[in-house]
Structure 1
């Protein structure tokens, strides 16, 4: 294995992490911004008001996009095993 192979594996790993985590991160960010806007408009600064809707939204997104996330991780694992089998 040379530097190009290692760089390719790291690049693919980073891309897999970004694509697998994107739905959850985007929903958490959108819900957080929405709650912050509501808190700013109503001047209600309750800390639990931020966490509970975010947790519920994240759990729903993970339940809905679980097959996509699993598919991304499975594809990455298959590529790594194929590279190991072929001797890089």
Structure 2
């Protein structure tokens, strides 16, 4: 296993991690932004007004994208396990 192989695996891991986390993080970001706009416009400063809608939206995002997230993770893991003989020098 060379330094290039380790770097390639690290880049692939971070890419898959970003793709998998994006739906949940973007949903929380969008809902948090909309709630903060609403709070600024109405001057309602209730902490649960921010937390509960975000929790519900993230749960829905996980339900909607969960199958795709799992498929991406399984695909990446299978690809990594398939490339182990090559990485260990046993082609």
Instruction: Report the TM range for the smaller structure's normalisation.
Output: over 0.9
TM-score (norm 2): 0.92
Q: Quote how far apart the aligned CAs of 1:72 are.
A: 1.0
Q: CA deviation at 1:83?
A: 1.5
Structure 2 CA distance for aligned equivalents of residues 38 and 87 of structure 1: 55
Within 5 Å, which residues of 2 pair with 1:1-88? 1-84=1-84, 86-88=85-87
The DSSP-based 3-state class of the residue aligned with 1:87 is: helix
TM-score with structure 1 setting the length? 0.95
Quote the offset at 1:25 in angstroms: 0.8
Give runs of ≥4 in structure 1 deviating > 4 Å: none
In structure 2, the gaps of 5 or more residues are none
Structure 1 residue runs of 5 or longer lacking an equivalent are: none
Cα RMSD over matched residues? 0.7
